[in-house]
Amino acid sequence: MLIADEFFLIAHNDSRGKAKLHPTATGLGLAGALLGELVLFGQITVSGGLVTVVDRRPPPDALAHTVLDQLVGESQHQSVRTWLSFLAQTATTSVGERLARAGVLRRQESWRLLRTSVSYVPIDLNVVAWPATRLRALLERPDPPGVPDAALLGLVCAAGLSREVLWSAGPRAHHRLGVLIPALPAPLRELVAHTEAAVGAAVLRGVP
């Protein structure tokens, strides 16, 4: 799975597909993960608060390709915070649909308050629970996680989901997490910092 997929499952580790976070925080975390995928694919970089496209060739994933096309098509907008806010509006649906197409989740519609509500329900609870379990195990091991997993852990912490990974972890995992994020490559480290700031700002202003 790509990091936005695993972030989604950690944020919705529930038999009904219910989110662990406020929708705005979930969306911002997923937006950070979608940008992070493009950093990991080598398509963009993040520096000085700006997103810069460095490779316009289509990435291997369709959703990543869509996000890259948006970045290229709106190249006058380069602020990381602008893109986090923009992508957050649709990130939950976009990543939920990607996981539904992959057969991990089932799209479920219900009628609530005179409108249709869409949720993404697990097909196999063990598959949904696996990302958090896997990250917790990685943090307990002596070898450091790879860059994609470290970036995912950074975004999990930035969005306020660290308890979902650390709830039964020992001191080694807590210490590892504290040193892992500052050691990320600079573009990912900055992306995590901007995601955390965006989530914090949304909480402070009282997200709608």
In this prediction, residue 207 carries a pLDDT of 57
SS3 content of the chain, % helix, strand, coil (to 5): 60, 10, 25
Is 199 strand, coil or helix?
Answer: helix
State percent of the chain over pLDDT 90. Answer: 71
pLDDT of 208 higher than 70: no
Provide the mean pLDDT of the chain.
92
CA atoms within 13 A on the CB side of 97: 8
Among the residues of 55-185, which ranges form H helices?
62-73, 80-88, 91-101, 125-140, 147-159, 162-166, 171-180
Whether the pTM exceeds 0.85: the reply is yes
> Token pair for residue 208?
């709608």
State the pLDDT confidence band at 169, using cuts at 50, 70 and 90.
Answer: confident
pLDDT, one tens digit per residue, over 78-119 is 999 999 999 999 999 999 999 999 999 999 887 777 777 888
**DSSP-assigned beta bridge partners for residue 72:** none
Q: Which domains does the chain have, with CATH numbers?
A: 3-204 (1.10.3630.10)
pLDDT of 206 higher than 90: no
CA separation (Å) from 143 to 7, 99, 172, 186?
22, 29, 12, 21
Helices 125-140, 3-11: axis angle to 10 degrees equals 110
